């Protein structure tokens, strides 16, 4: 899908007004959530004079509080001709780039740690909300859009992208503005037998990916990206530069899966590299409308050899439901065929279906490139395809009956561009404790659903139709997915689950989505937040709330 050109509408001209904001937000948030967020008319239009003063004050504050000079080329205001281009260039979801969507009063692209420290200090001194962006694969755009805070400033960390790999210790220091593709490329430059268990898409930013957990093709073998972090460098709410030792274990626990934008500004991660064989095997096989095979997949997929992950994608192609089985095996094709002959012969995999390659080239494969394509693709930082989309998530703990699978297929045929991704769990994910990191979705889950719908036309009626489809599908799946709570994944944020009010991150209100993302770990996250950021400097629509611990029962 390509990028359509958004047209300036009358609605866009009302961008900052409460009426205009409500019209915009209604496309993203159910009415009830919007009314709760706005309260008593808190979102009002700031005058041009006020905006100018805010920009000037923030820029002056930055220069005073940074130990390193700040070039003017790192600061952009809406008056800069390149402001919109830079703001939108790292926004994957076109829903969040329309002219009517709230824009920051200033965009800052720091070059070093001192610049970020200054930004945090100035946010605190001036009372201006800041949003940190690393990659831009933010499903609801909360790293660069604010529906509840005005004014706000975006701190784009794309310039902080250094990667230092140490094969002797099997670790690497990675700044948060680096992409996953750049990390994979840097590791492969030095070693053919090391990798890192992170996401499928190379253009995802390392910063946000790890703060929410982060999963990919090595999920069942090595767990999440956050499970393989051994240190971090952050700027806390007081502007201090801290590592694991100085921040303490509670905060180090919270930032590895507790979601971005709640506890600190993450500058870099020290990651633990993992072993991969010189030869791996990948395959993609397609089956049309075969619910019996899909039901069998549910019965075995979380119990397969840890070296094997078979992911499913269900699509509508030319009015036919197509199900693809897409896999990585850490080993050769002959061994893979032996494993499947015993554990999943129903798939009917043949030697001709298998492609033997290296782990780094499997990364290309899962990004829809030929395995023999140039590895330079992994270093591309721009999105190859951007479109409008909405996504929702579920976790499944019991196989979904065939009748429900048939209904699911019927619903897929109602949409032009749906994708339902089934990501298997089990393996290492069942052996790591639910409280080891804030990410709680471990033992007991067979797989995770991602319901995804994309479209090219930003017309309001068209958008509403697609949004209604995915919300209706989510409603239909209620009896077949996790319960009490119905779980969700914080890296796939969903504002339908609820949002904070401006300036008031209520514990009760935040529990509506916090328990879904974090289950029993939510309470500990609130305690950490209250301790390290009692004045709630780091906040957004679904940030962790603070709380008076004396009243906690």
Q: Is 144 a catalytic residue?
A: no
∠ CA 317-323-324, nearest 5°, is 105
Cβ-Cβ contacts under 8 Å for 174 (sequence gap 6 or more): 162, 163, 164, 183, 206, 268, 269, 270, 271
What are 431-435's contacts with CB under 8 Å, separation 24+?
432/223, 432/227, 434/519, 434/520, 434/521, 435/520, 435/521, 435/524
Residue bearing tokens 């504050």: 61
d(Cα 257, Cα 141) in Å, to the nearest integer? 18
- What's CA 305's distance to the chain center, in Å? 27
- Answer yes or no: are the C-beta atoms of 228 and 199 closer than 8 Å: no
Give dist(CA 430, CA 124) in Å, integer: 41
Task: Return the residue matching tokens 């268990």.
Answer: 197
Structure tokens at 523: 């309470």
Choose among 415, 495, 363: nearest CA to 93. Answer: 495
Alpha-carbon torsion (314, 315, 320, 324), positive or negative: negative
Asked if residues 297 and 312 have their Cβ atoms less than 8 Å apart, the reply is yes
As a whole number of angstroms, the distance between CA 178 and CA 163 comes to 8
- The secondary structure of residue 37, as a DSSP letter, is H
* 344 contacts 440 by C-beta, under 8 angstroms: no
Distance in angstroms (rounded) separating the CA atoms of residues 381 and 491: 20
Burial letters 94-121, b for 16+ CB under 10 A, else e: bbbbbebbbbbbbbbbbbebbbbbbbbb
Alpha helix segments (H runs only) across 146-193? 180-190
SS3 content of the chain, % helix, strand, coil (to 5): 40, 20, 40
User: Would you list the DSSP string of 344-358?
Assistant: -GGG---GGG-EEE-
Cβ neighbours of residue 32 under 8 Å, at least 6 residues apart?
Answer: none
User: Can you read off the two tokens belonging to residue 10?
Assistant: 């009358």
SS3 513: helix
Neighbours of 401 (CB within 10 A): 14
Question: Which ranges constitute the DSSP H helices of 344-397?
Answer: 359-366
265-272 vs 171-175, strand pairing mode: antiparallel
Active-site pick, 144, 325, 474, 492: 492
Q: Do the Cβ atoms of 310 and 304 come closer than 8 Å?
A: yes
CB 206 within 8 A of CB 178: yes
Task: Show the CA angle centred on residue 444, arms to residues 344 and 449, nearest 5°.
Answer: 70
Give the residue from 99, 102, 141 showing the smallest Cα distance to 542: 141
Residues with catalytic function: 492
């Amino acid at each position: 899908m390509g990028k359509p050109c958004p047209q300036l509408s009358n609605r866009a001209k009302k961008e900052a007004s409460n009426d205009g904001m409500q019209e915009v937000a209604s496309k993203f948030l159910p009415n009830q959530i919007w009314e709760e967020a706005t309260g008593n008319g808190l979102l009002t239009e700031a005058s041009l004079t006020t905006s100018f003063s805010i920009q000037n004050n923030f820029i002056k504050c930055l220069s005073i509080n940074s130990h390193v000079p700040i070039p003017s080329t790192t600061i952009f205001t809406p008056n800069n001709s390149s402001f919109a281009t830079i703001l939108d260039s790292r926004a994957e979801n076109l829903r969040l780039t329309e002219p009517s969507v709230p824009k920051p009063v200033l965009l800052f692209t720091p070059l070093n740690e001192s610049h970020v420290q200054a930004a945090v200090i100035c946010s605190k001194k001036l009372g201006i909300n800041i949003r940190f962006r690393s990659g831009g694969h933010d499903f609801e755009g909360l790293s660069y859009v604010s529906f509840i805070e005005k004014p706000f400033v975006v701190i784009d960390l794309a310039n902080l992208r250094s990667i230092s790999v140490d094969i002797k210790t099997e670790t690497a220091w990675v700044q948060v503005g680096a992409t996953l593709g750049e990390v994979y490329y840097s590791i492969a430059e030095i070693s053919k037998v090391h990798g890192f268990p992170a996401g499928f898409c190379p253009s995802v930013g390392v910063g946000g990916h790890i703060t929410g957990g982060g999963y990919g093709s090595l999920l069942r073998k090595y767990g999440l990206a956050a499970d393989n972090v051994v240190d971090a460098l952050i700027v806390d709410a007081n502007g201090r530069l801290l590592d694991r030792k100085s921040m303490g274990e509670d905060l180090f626990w919270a930032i590895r899966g507790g979601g971005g934008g709640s506890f600190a500004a993450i500058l870099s991660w020290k990651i633990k590299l993992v072993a991969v064989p010189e030869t791996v095997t990948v395959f993609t096989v397609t089956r049309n409308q075969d619910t019996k095979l899909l039901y069998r997949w549910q019965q075995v997929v979380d119990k397969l050899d840890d070296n094997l992950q078979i992911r499913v994608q269900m699509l509508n192609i030319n009015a036919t439901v197509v199900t693809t089985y897409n896999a990585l095996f850490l080993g050769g094709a002959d061994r893979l065929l032996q494993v499947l002959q015993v554990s999943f012969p129903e798939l009917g995999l043949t030697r001709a279906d298998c492609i033997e390659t290296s782990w780094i080239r499997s990364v290309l494969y899962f990004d829809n490139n030929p395995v023999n394509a140039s590895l330079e693709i992994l270093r591309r930082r721009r999105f190859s395809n951007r479109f409008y989309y909405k996504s929702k998530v579920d976790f499944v703990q019991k196989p979904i009956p065939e009748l429900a699978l048939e209904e699911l297929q019927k619903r897929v045929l109602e949409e032009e561009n749906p994708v339902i991704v089934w990501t298997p769990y089990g393996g290492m994910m069942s052996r790591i404790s639910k409280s080891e990191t804030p990410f709680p979705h471990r033992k007991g889950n067979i797989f995770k659903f991602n319901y995804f719908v994309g479209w090219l036309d930003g017309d309001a009626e068209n958008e509403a139709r697609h949004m209604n489809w995915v919300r209706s599908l989510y409603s239909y799946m209620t009896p077949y997915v996790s319960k009490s709570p119905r779980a969700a994944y914080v890296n796939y944020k969903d504002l339908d689950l609820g949002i904070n009010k401006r300036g008031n991150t209520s514990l009760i209100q935040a529990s509506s989505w916090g328990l879904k993302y974090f289950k029993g770990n939510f309470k500990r996250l609130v305690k950490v937040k209250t301790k390290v950021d009692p004045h709630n400097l780091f906040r957004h629509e679904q940030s962790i709330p603070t709380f008076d611990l004396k009243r906690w029962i």
